[in-house]
Amino acid sequence: MSYALSDVHTHYDETVFDTDRDAVLTEMHRKGVELIINSGSSVPSSKRSVILAHQHDFVWASVGVFPLEAYTVEADWLEQIAALADDERAVAIGEIGLDYFQPDADRAAQERVFIPQLELAQTMQLPVVIHDRDADEDMIRTLRNHPASGMIHRFFSKARYGFAFLEMGLSLGIGPAITYPNAGDLIEVVRQMPLDRLLLETDCPFLPPQSKEGARATSDMLDEVVETIAQVRGDISPEQVAQTALTNARRMFKIGESL
């Protein structure tokens, strides 16, 4: 079964796609993936995202510097991101955020890169794609001080943080993590969240569903995610999950239905 899929967070510019990138993307479109957003995580990968978005009509770009790249930025990194965000194929600032997974993470350095990008998104009236790993409390505090519209990508925090993000008006990117046994909190949030805040994403090539663990993830694997979401909610079909997420993505990222 294939659905009208949208994958709002991908990294098709990664080297693991170097040998067959265009073939894979063409195949995704043929299989019913109607919209892909390729996410930058640094200045170079943001450039690659914009180039990729110019090469495929159904691919769009998100540009930004993510927290683990915050330590190595060049002096003019923000100007470079702003220039890329101005491209007609760029639809969001991201992925940006905070990552405290490593105990020695330089939190101040991450914040120095995160906050100016939140401000850039506000100035340019673009949505943000937020990376939050083990940083929920600081994330909520930062977003209270620097309001943004957009999404928490690859949401996988405790349920109470999911509800807090939803209360702040943010959407949640739900992906293959929901197919793994440790997804209890994620399932609790997905069961109760308003459907107009639901977005689908793989974070490919990094996160395949459990049934394909170890494989290179691609957007068509969201089939299993929409089926799981429909199953845990019980009030919506997989087709409706896919269609709702596609409509939400087009609305958030201001992408027309021309394709």
Three-state SS for 92? strand
Nearer to Zn ion, 34 or 201 (CB): 201
Q: Give residue 29's identity as a one-letter amino acid code.
A: H
Q: Does residue 203 touch Zn ion according to CB under 5 A?
A: yes
Q: How far is the CB of 231 from Zn ion (least distance, A)?
A: 26
Whole-number Å distance between alpha carbons of 191 and 229: 8
Does 7 interact with Zn ion (rule: CB under 5 A)? no
Task: Kindly state the smallest distance separating residue 87's Cβ from Zn ion, in Å.
Answer: 19
Nearer to Zn ion, 203 or 224 (CB): 203
Q: Is 99 in the site for Zn ion (CB under 5 A)?
A: no
Q: Which is nearer to Zn ion, 222 or 238 (CB)?
A: 222
Judged by CB under 5 A, the stretch of 25-33, 79-87, 195-203, 209-217 that binds Zn ion is 195-203
The residue among 139 and 233 lying less far from Zn ion, judged by its C-beta, is 139
**Minimum distance, C-beta of residue 192 to Zn ion, in the bound complex (Å):** 25
Give the DSSP letter string of 164-218. HHHHTT-EEEE-GGGGSTT-HHHHHHHHHS-GGGEEE---BTS---GGGTTSPP-
Number of residues interacting with Zn ion: please give it, by CB under 5 A. 1
Cβ closest to Zn ion, residue 99 vs residue 203: 203
Residue 178 token pair: 């929901």
Separation between Cα atoms, residue 173 and residue 155, nearest integer Å: 6
The piece of 19-27, 135-143, 176-184, 196-204 that touches Zn ion (CB under 5 A) is 196-204
Burial letters 53-81, b for 16+ CB under 10 A, else e: beebeebbbbbbbbbbbbeebeeebbebb
Determine the Cα angle at 51 with ends 89 and 221, to 5°. Answer: 80
| Shortest reach from residue 9's CB to Zn ion, in Å | 6
Nearer to Zn ion, 40 or 238 (CB): 40
CB of 42 to Zn ion, least distance (A): 11
Nearest approach, Cβ of residue 131 and Zn ion (Å) = 7
d(CA 140, CA 136): 6
Q: Which of residues 137-166 bind Zn ion (CB under 5 A)?
A: none
Query: What is the chain's percent helix, strand, coil content, to nearest 5?
Result: 50, 15, 35
Do β-strands 198-200 and 33-39 pair in parallel, antiparallel, or remain unpaired? unpaired
Angle at the Cα of 116 (from 110 to 120), degrees rounded to 5?
140
- Measured from each CB, the residue nearest to Zn ion is 203
Nearer to Zn ion, 69 or 203 (CB): 203
- Smallest gap from Cβ 146 to Zn ion, in A, equals 21
Contact residues toward Zn ion (CB under 5 A) are 203
